[in-house]
Structure 1
Amino acid sequence: MASSGSISIDANQEERLLAIKGSVISYITQKLGHLPTDIISADQYESLDGALSIETLKIDSGSIWAIRFSEPDDQTPGRSWSVEISVGKFNGEILVGFRLNCFSRNYDFDFNNSVPRILRSLVNNFSCSDYGYKLSQKPITIQSNSDSEFLYKLINNGKRWRNIVVVSCDDNFDSLVNYTGLAYKLSGAAHVAAITPSASFHLSSLIGKELSVFDRAVRLYRPNFSEEDQLTRHPLILRRQIDKVPIIIRRKFEEAIQRDCFRMSIERDGLAKVVPSFVDIRLAASKARLTALDRHRSSNDDLLTAEIEARKAAESQSESAMSMAIQEEELRKEVESERDNYRAQLYSMRNRAEVLEHRLSMAGEQVETGTRPTTYDDVSPWVEENFSGKLVLHPRAKKALKNAAYEDVGVVCETLSLLANEYRKVCLGEMRKEEFDGIISNKHLDMSGSISEERAREFGEEYFISWRGKKIFLHGHIEKGKSRDERYCLRVYFLWEPEDSLIVVGWLPSHLTNRLT
């Protein structure tokens, strides 16, 4: 995992810097035993066994002091841990970077995701903050409207790279997961918040019910949040998944939350620049010393020594990069395997549901559950209840429904039903297109392509949605009415997702911009 932040300067900067270094050295002394008495002032150091290294990089705008220490894992033979801490002094500001690396002979990276004590110490004792928000080893309590607005701003903060874990509680802040323990274990690596029912209600009014969290559930808000994100991008653990289950099951969910937060910490953009590794700092420092010696026409022996140091640093950087690449490849394989497993389960459940629906239909039973909506507020939950795995409303479409003006909600529901059932059969090769055209013609509907993709680009992002990390064109278009008055003109823009056999509705019920409008 990796973390970073800035530390406030209450007094003299040098005194503050010395206090931070002292805290780090004290922690390492407890881990490794006796250290040289003058090590805190050393610009460079290397222990005989290679367990501890110190490097200092001096540049025009300040300096970076970096320390790395390693220790074997007490529980797993062949595994070791490396902690890297960098403290930078730049133009009156102190910046701190932190990296925790796991090295294993067998690449078996299953371990307890909890930040080391030194990171909690830096966060708790030195007023560490990042992107304008104070970090803490304690959960944030959200109980008023202003608290919810604070949380909403944090969720939408474009500079945020940490997960936000929001735990829904009752009015007494009782919850189904140990949010205090999560905050402690994830100190500096994630934000953890506990929210009351009334505050959840206000958050829902700000962020939308689908992306909110309530009723004792838990939600992770990942970085780069957008209200057009797919719901699955910000995982939700429902009450029924963690209530009245064995404590070991609940702990598994907490461990999954911690793993996700650790993973997000190393996937942040520009990590190598914001939190440079020890080997990167050592390589830069070695090159700087070599350049300085050359500039001052130093002796050949000094130049040779500096050249050897720089070469060793470059080799160390290469080895570190290779080790990280292997770890990332193993993680990628694990994530892809997990994704394929979930997808296989989804396909199996969907096929079973479709077989049962077919049997009900053949027996003359009604397949749809509940009555069709009479207001646009009820359309989204009705779609989720009846067309799961067949048709989904993109977040942009759900947002458009809030301001819908088309006068006949029943026609909108009928159109969505036709897309989810009959048109999906056309896409799967189970119904002829001519047969479908006859069905919608009888209902005074017409289907065509929206506009050409080339022309769609003239109108910015209107005809495109973000889907599974890609920008995709809304190629399909079903309509009723020719009026330019939104009350009498229905338009539904959609696309077919072949990989998931899914209709994705990107906009409704009004017309998107074209040359006529």
Structure 2
Amino acid sequence: MSNSMTEALSQLASRMPRIVREHEVLRVAGWMPGEDPDAVAHKAAGEVLRWAQRRAGQGLPREAWDGESFELPLPGRDPSAIRLRAGASDLWAFRIHDPDKTVPGRAWTTEVVLGHVPGKAAQFSTRLLVATPEQDFSIDPAVPGFVHQVAERCGLVVGSQAASATPAVYADGEGAEGLIEHLANPGRLLPTIVLTLADGASAPYINAERLAAALTGLAHVALARPDAAWGLTEWLGKRLSVFGGAARVYQPGFEDMADPFAHRLLLSGQLVSVDGVERATRWLRESAAQASVQRTRLGRDVLTFSAIRAAQLEVQQSKLREADASDADQLAAALKRIEALKGEIEDLRTEQSYYIEEFDKERERAGLAEAQAQKSAYRIQQLTDQLTSKGDDPDQEVQLPTGWSEFASWCNENLAGRLVLTPNAHRGTRKPLFQDVETAARSLLWLATEGRDRFRNGGGALANIPILDGAQNAPCGADEFDFDWNSRRFSAEWHIKSGGSTRDPSRCMRIYYCFDQQTQQIIVAEMPAHRRTGAT
């Protein structure tokens, strides 16, 4: 019976029309420099229209080139524009559809909004959407061709940095300084993809020119030649650098104490084959496009064609009411506005569905990653215990850091899985006044080994016990405080202290921490300075 029902339902489903869903592929949002915003916006509109005319396959009406509203009924394409003036503000919105040339049922929609408001430079934004009945469709995202022209001929700036259709090339040590300045710039809103050369190679594995063209306004693409890559490594250390044919994506907000896993590294071994290059290139393009949708907001960074149309029709309605137009004219205007509002609602619904889907995916990925991390930590602990039971000391060969500049890297490399520094603790180790790096390192090594073992085995006597010359472990007491790490709330109940009762930051060390039963790790909340509180 169940098989019969399944067969009947499958036959019915095969005769039903497939549901077409709209997906937003990418967004580009920025501004265009120039003393005359109106002239800059008009020039950019010309680049868009020349691109659209080639897509439409025939000439656009005169109103289009004059920058006015127009509609051109063309089957499957329907290019149209809206000019909306309100006071000193001036907006021009354009939209065109484009049936896919190879995939039946797939259709593309491109929207562009240009304009300016008093006191601001000309603004530019574009959206690329695709409507398709495919359940699982896969594409290599690329910005429309007019984005290249706008970037090169009009100038396009995202945040505080110019977008470019060509890769930036850094050749030597001076170039390395320029690249580091670019990566650390707080005004950088786009990811930066840094490509390097393998030994003896004249070009990177991934085609830098094609990648930069595809991702204009979505990501910066940089080529670091060997001398520049070496300078980058000297400055950042190996854990955050990239060299020898590898590629790395530096996300916005990068700093020299960043988590290396947040800035994905593509090893050269992954790029030596044609398949490896294709996989890496597709991931780079997909991730940059996805980030553009996540980073921007409709109505704030990017205006939709439907929103501009709704605003235009609202203005027309108001004029008809003021002119005491006939009921038929006012009704027709109201119906048009309702249709425009439906389009705006659909845009917002599509965006909401996207974020819900992404949230579910991220939650699933986070759960899997956390479970895998706990399994790995458990396995590492098993192996460590086996070595210890045989009389071996896994940490016997650990070399202590000689300066604060390498302290965080030393923790990540030698204490991973047993002890972790929070971002606040990372910042505290950049240029602290406390100079005894060795004491701080030995204290963390004790925490990651004997201290952690005591917590794992029930605690034991941990209060006011000496761990090194002049350093002891003790409860925080009145200095206990709460902190957040990895989306969870903790309390720093313990600290290692040295320097007695002095508060001289050059001689006083404090390492505030707690033990997390879930991950079986020591979490260092702050170090190495004495924490400022209301009492101090």
Question: TM class, shorter-chain normalised?
Answer: 0.7 to 0.9
Q: Structure 1 residue 319 and structure 2 residue 346: aligned?
A: yes
Greater alpha carbon shift after TM alignment, 246-255 vs 44-53 = 44-53
Could you tell me whether the CA contact under 8 Å between 2:446 and 2:467 is conserved in 1? no
> Could you tell me whether the CA contact under 8 Å between 1:228 and 1:396 is conserved in 2?
no
2:76·2:98 contact (CA, 8 Å) conserved in 1?
Answer: no
**Residue of structure 2 in register with 1:6 after alignment:** 31
Q: 2:521 aligns with which of 492, 502, 514?
A: 502
Q: Tell me the distance in 2 between the aligned counterparts of 1:331 and 1:266.
A: 11
Check 1:211–1:394 CA distance in 2 against 1; reply closer, same or farther (3 A cut). Answer: farther
Residue 432 of structure 1: aligned partner: 458
Residue 2 of structure 1, CA deviation: 0.7
Contact 1:107-1:330 within 8 A present in 2 as well? no
Name 1:31's counterpart in structure 2: 55
Q: How does 1:281-300 map to 2 (within 5 A)?
A: 281-300=308-327
Question: Which residue of structure 1 lines up, in the alignment, with residue 18 of structure 2?
Answer: none
Aligned residues: CA RMSD: 3.5
Q: Structure 1: any 5+ residue segments left out of the alignment?
A: 457-462
Q: Distance in 2 between matches of 1:108 and 1:500?
A: 36
Structure 1 position 471, deviation (Å): 8.8
Give the CA deviation at 1:303.
1.6
The normalised TM-score by structure 2 is 0.81
* Separation in 2, partners of 1:59, 1:379: 57
SS of the residue corresponding to residue 69 of structure 1 reads strand
> How many residues are treated as equivalent by the alignment?
503
Counterpart pick for 1:131 among 159, 163, 166:
159
Of stretches 113-122 and 489-498 in structure 1, the one that deviates more from structure 2 is 489-498
Q: Is residue 86 of structure 2 the alignment partner of residue 59 of structure 1?
A: yes
Between 310-319 and 202-211, the greater mean CA deviation after superposition: 202-211
Q: Quick check: 2:61–2:70 contact (8 Å CA) kept in 1?
A: no
Q: Quick one: which amino acid aligns to residue 298 of structure 1?
A: A
Is this contact kept in 2: 1:65–1:87, CA < 8 A? Answer: yes
- Please name the residue that 1:184 is paired with: 213
**Which SS does the other structure have where 2:300 is aligned?**
helix
Change (3 A) 1:104 1:489: same
Q: Quick one: structure 1 residues 440 and 48, their matched pair in 2 at CA, closer, same or farther if it must change by over 3 Å?
A: same
**Contact 1:83 / 1:98 at 8 angstroms: preserved in 2?**
yes
What pairs with 1:74-223 in structure 2 (closer than 5 Å)? 74-91=101-118, 93-106=121-134, 108-144=136-172, 147-169=175-197, 174-200=203-229, 202-203=231-232, 210-223=239-252
Runs of 5+ consecutive residues of structure 2 not aligned to the other structure? 1-25
Alignment pair present for 1:347 and 2:374: yes
- Structure 1 length normalisation: TM-score? 0.84
Q: Which residue of 1 aligns with 2:285?
A: 258
Output the amino acid matched with 2:457: M
Tell me: CA distance 1:276–1:155, structure 2 relative to 1, closer, same or farther (3 Å).
same
What is the identity, as a one-letter code, of the residue corresponding to 1:416?
A: L
Residue pair 1:227, 1:395 contacting (<8 A) in 2 also: no
Worse-superposed segment, 94-103 or 49-58: 49-58
Amino acid at match of 1:31: R
**Cα drift, residue 268 of structure 1:** 2.2
Q: 1:232 to 1:498 in 2, by over 3 A?
A: farther
Amino acid at match of 1:123: A
% identical aligned pairs: 23
Distance in structure 1 (CA, Å) of the matches to 2:375 and 2:489: 28
365-374 or 225-234, which deviates more = 225-234
Could you list the per-position Cα deviations for residues 25-79 of structure 1 after superposition, in whole angstroms to 9, with x for gaps in the alignment? 3322332333553351441426365632322222112321111122333444443
Distance 1:151 1:306, change over 3 A: farther
Asked whether the 8 Å contact 1:173–1:195 carries over to 2, the reply is: no
**2:510 matched residue in structure 1:** 491
- The SS at the match of 1:177 is coil
* Match of residue 73 from structure 2: 47
Q: Secondary structure at the match of 2:124?
A: strand
- The residue type equivalent to 2:48 in the other structure is V
- How far did residue 474 of structure 1 move? 4.7
